[in-house]
Amino acid sequence: MIEQNSDAFEPLSSFNQDRDLFARLNQYMDTATLNLKQGRGWFIFNANRTRANRISNLLMGRLAEYRPFISYFYVPWRDFSLNAYMREVELSDEERNAAQAAKDQHLKKELNIARRVTTDTSWAMLTSDIVIISELQPNHNHEARRLAEVLEGRLGRRMTTVLITPHMPRELGQAFEELAPETDFWDNLYRRMYETGFMAL
């Protein structure tokens, strides 16, 4: 598990840090079509909620310039976490859900809505030209499993992904090792993001 960073105090150095990063992101967006063809994304660490919002807003503002030729999907971590929970936990037991829905029409309707929303979100994360996952901070095994699944699908097809997290590489790596010790997900993710994209602290 990893604790959330506080946004109560943001040192001046972070704004100086952002000037350099924003210059790099703007250069990246100036040639967005080429970068997306090459599957070159970003892994941005040490971004608390305020900084993550600034970064996300910059990217989405620039991406809007490329509509409709580039599709993008922004996923705050709370939405990703909910999608992971519904897909990996609540909707994973089809037999139980079917048995309960057969007795409760209201529950059946809710399950159908949940499936549709979960499927739509999953499809967007799978097919959008660029996906931005912001405030990434896994605290449950189902979140780690779902992230591994999404990123394997995207990175395997060289589709551009931007990951923004409040944590530093070592503590994020430790979290994944605790949550999914049976895999080498973190080492593979870090290596592939390093080889195919850009990183920033």
Indicate the pLDDT class of residue 18, thresholds 50, 70 and 90. confident
Residue 123 lies in a domain: no
Residue 118 lies in a domain: no
Residue 90 lies in a domain: no
Answering whether pTM is above 0.85, one says no
Q: Where does 31-127 have alpha helices with state H?
A: 32-37, 49-64, 77-85, 94-103, 105-127
Structural domain range at position 72:
13-21+37-77+128-200
Residue 147 lies in a domain: yes
Residue 2 lies in a domain: no
Helix then strand then coil, in percent of the chain rounded to 5, is: 65, 10, 25
Residue 4 confidence (pLDDT) above 50: no
Q: Print burial letters for 151-173: b (CB count within 10 Å at least 16), e (below 16).
A: beebbeeebbbbbbbbbebeebb
118-172 pLDDT tens trace? 788 889 999 999 999 999 999 998 899 889 889 999 999 999 999 999 999 999 9
- When pLDDT is averaged across residues 23-47 and rounded to a whole number, the result is 96
Residue 108 lies in a domain: no
Residue 157 confidence (pLDDT) = 92
Cα 170 from Cα 140, distance rounded (Å): 18
66-110 pLDDT tens trace? 999 999 999 999 999 988 888 776 655 564 555 555 565 655 566
Cα 87 from Cα 82, distance rounded (Å): 8
Number of domains in the chain: 1
CATH number where 59 lies: 3.40.50.300
Q: Which residues contact 138 (CB under 8 A, 6 or more apart)?
A: 2, 144, 147, 175, 176, 179
Residue 13 confidence (pLDDT) above 60: no
Residue 182 lies in a domain: yes
Residue 194 lies in a domain: yes
